[in-house]
Amino acid sequence: MKVFLRYGLLLLLLVPIESNARRARRPVKKRAPQRNVPKSTTSGITYKLNGGRFGDNLFTYIKAKWLSHKYDIPLYYKTFKYVNQLVMHEKETGYYSDTSRAFNKSQAIKHDGPNVIKPDAIVLYVSDYYFKSPEWQKWDDIGTWDDVWADYEFIEKLRAMIYPCKEMQLVELPENVRTVALHVRKGGGFDPPLLAEGAPKRSRGRRRHKFADKAWPLKFPPDQYYVEQLIVLSELFDDAPLHVHLFTDDKNPEALVNKYRAAVGKENITYACRIAGNSHTSNVLQDFFSLMCCDCLIRSDSSFSKVAHLLGNFEVVLYPVHGKWQGNTLVIDQVNVMDNR
């Protein structure tokens, strides 16, 4: 019994020694040295992405860029999908995980209400998609951004940054006829189904919003809205020839074109769209820059077409500002017409 106890005690003493010996033989991993981040001499601005698509990310970038321009403080740009094909990816100062070390503190900008930005406070301000400048009537209605529209220098800055790095094959548009970009967002599988289009009341999976058009009615206006605005635009130009190109994330653009053509019923309007291979992840940049080549724009409240509206040089833009539900039917009852002629 004593021998067994002594042997057991000896094992207990030897195990830690052996374990320590093994640990001693393991190579010690050295921590990577921290990047030398020089102290900033002014405040700066960056942004928090909302997890949305290309349009939402551009919208967020533009708001932060506006604050950078307005207060003359540097912008620290965060990357997002497709942006590596744009000039901003090469020209803007990047945001890194240790960028905040260059400042005294980081401070989130409020969505609404007073925001005092102090350029000399050495603060890294963090904007987001929902930020509203005090000069804007609505945070999401670029038609109310009078100070932005009036600042030609800022618009030119945006156009220089939101521009393809390389030559891009755009949609072919006819010459000698007024062209119309019709941007129709249907969700394309990225968003929840649309109630106005007869989506089942029970949708698969758990979603924060069951129906996209219930949550964001102006982003997903019904087909009747586009039919009505095509008629309004045609009559605005005394039914002169128009060529309408449909830009959409719908998987069957040709069916939409046929539907609109029949409902509008005007022979002065010709239509075109991508016939095959369309989805919410295909031809995103090609559609974005092609859309801005048109003379007029009929859009939804989608960030994708809102940014195109801001950067483009359109004669006339029509977009929804109010809608209401009548049972399961969505009715857009207020539309803004920006006539720049």
Domains and CATH numbers, the chain: 44-161 (no CATH), 178-339 (3.40.50)
The DSSP-derived string for 14-67 is HHHHHHHHHHHHSPPPPPPPPP--PPPSS-EEEEE--S--HHHHHHHHHHHHHH
CA distance 211 to 191: 8
Listed residue (89, 98, 105) closest to 160, CA to CA: 89
Q: What is the pTM of this model?
A: 0.84
Tell me what pLDDT residue 282 has. Answer: 74
What does the angle CA 296 – CA 216 – CA 307 come to, to the nearest 5 degrees?
A: 35
Q: For the chain, which residues score pLDDT lower than 70?
A: 1-35, 113-114, 188-191, 199-209, 277-280
What tokens does 48 get? 């928090």
CA distance 52 to 81: 10
Q: Which residues contact 309 (CB under 8 A, 6 or more apart)?
A: 142, 297, 299, 317, 319
Amino acid at 132: K
Tell me what pLDDT residue 94 has. Answer: 95
CA distance 292 to 271: 17
Tell me what pLDDT residue 280 has. Answer: 65
Amino acid at 113: G
CA distance 294 to 81: 25
What tokens does 289 get? 């820059």
Listed residue (312, 302, 324) closest to 141, CA to CA: 302
Tell me what pLDDT residue 135 has. Answer: 76
DSSP 3-state percent helix, strand, coil across the chain (nearest 5): 35, 20, 45
Q: Residue with structure tokens 């072919």?
A: 172
**Alpha-carbon torsion (54, 55, 61, 62), positive or negative:** positive
Tell me what pLDDT residue 14 has. Answer: 47
CA distance 257 to 251: 12
**Dihedral angle computed from the Cα positions of residues 269, 305, 290 and 163, in that order, rounded to the nearest 10 degrees:** 160
CA distance 244 to 263: 14
Tell me what pLDDT residue 32 has. Answer: 53
Alpha-carbon radius of gyration of the chain: 27
